[in-house]
């Protein structure tokens, strides 16, 4: 199914929960979804007969612009062979987004990684802890305004 058809389909079910569809090159077409609706949209994408997005290929956290973080979902369907890119904007002030870990198990660790490095809070993730950095690390390094701390546990950080 092409992204335009998917977009129309989602729009008819979720209405305002689905944001803009971007098709201008060189960006691969993607669509915005409201961060508070993403769990329901994800479930629909997975279970709807004509969509069957059974695989979450990649989930990335991005420091999107001055006010927003973004979570980018690269979906793919093993059974039907089509792909889709979905983005959710999350305000930096209150970086909360619904977790999709119970829709795709792959999301659990990816969400932990996004939380660890970029710092959005995935509501409903069963085990939202840091995954790559030490548990007591402060801050989220992939934020553009991140400053490397001078000391970690009393040890000087050389770089």
Partner 1 sequence: MAELRTEEMILNMGPQHPSTHGVLRLVLTLNGEIVEEVKPVLGYLHRCFEKHAEAMTYPQVIPYTDRMDYLNAMSNELAYVLAVEKLLGIEVPERVEYIRVIMSELQRIASHLVAIGTYGNDSGAMTPFLYCFMDREKVLELFEIVCGARMLYNYIWVGGLSHDITPEFITKTKELIKYLRPRMKMINNLLSYNKIFIERTAKIGILPPEVAINAGVSGPTLRGSGVKYDLRKSDPYSIYNKFDFDICVGTGERGVVGDCWNRYIVRAYEIEQSLRIIEQAIDSIPEGDVQSAVPKRVKPVAGESYVRTESPKGELGYYIISDGSLNPYRVKARSPSFCNISVINQISRGHMIADVVMILGSFDIVLGCIDR
What is the binding site for partner 1 (CB under 8 A)?
25-28, 54-58, 60, 62-63, 72, 74, 78, 81, 83, 85, 104-106, 108-110, 117, 130-134, 141-142
111 in Cβ contact with 99 (< 8 Å): yes
- Closest approach of partner 1 to the CB of residue 132, in Å: 4
Min CB(141)–partner 1 separation in Å: 5
Q: How far is the CB of 101 from partner 1 (least distance, A)?
A: 11
CB of 16 to partner 1, least distance (A): 25
Closer CB to partner 1, residue 20 or residue 36?
20
Question: What are the residue ranges of helices labelled H in the chain?
Answer: 3-14, 38-47, 107-117
For residues 61 and 69, give the distance between their C-alpha atoms in angstroms, rounded to a whole number.
Answer: 7
9 versus 82: smaller Cβ distance to partner 1:
82
Distance, in Å, from the CA atom of 84 to the CA atom of 91, rounded to the nearest integer, reads 23
Compare residues 40 and 133 and give the one whose CB is closer to partner 1. 133
Spell out the alpha helix ranges (H) of 21-89: 38-47
Scanning the structure block, which residue is given the tokens 């729009």?
Answer: 11
For partner 1, the closer of residues 34 and 64 by Cβ is 64
Find, among 66, 67, 35, 42, the residue nearest to 56 by Cα: 42
């Amino acid at each position: 199914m092409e992204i335009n058809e998917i977009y129309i389909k989602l729009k008819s079910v979720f209405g305002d929960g689905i944001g803009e569809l971007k098709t201008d090159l060189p960006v691969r077409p993607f669509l915005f979804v409201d961060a508070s609706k993403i769990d329901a949209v994800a479930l629909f994408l997975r279970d709807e007969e004509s969509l069957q997005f059974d695989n979450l290929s990649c989930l990335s956290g991005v420091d999107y612009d001055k006010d927003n973080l973004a979570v980018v979902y690269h979906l793919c369907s093993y059974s039907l062979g089509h792909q889709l890119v979905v983005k959710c904007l999350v305000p930096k002030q209150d970086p909360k987004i619904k977790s999709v870990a119970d829709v795709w198990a792959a999301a659990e660790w990816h969400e932990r990684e996004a939380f660890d490095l970029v710092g959005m809070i995935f509501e409903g993730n069963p085990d939202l802890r840091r995954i790559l950095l030490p548990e007591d690390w402060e801050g989220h390094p992939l934020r553009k305004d991140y400053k490397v701390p001078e000391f970690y546990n009393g040890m000087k950080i050389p770089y």
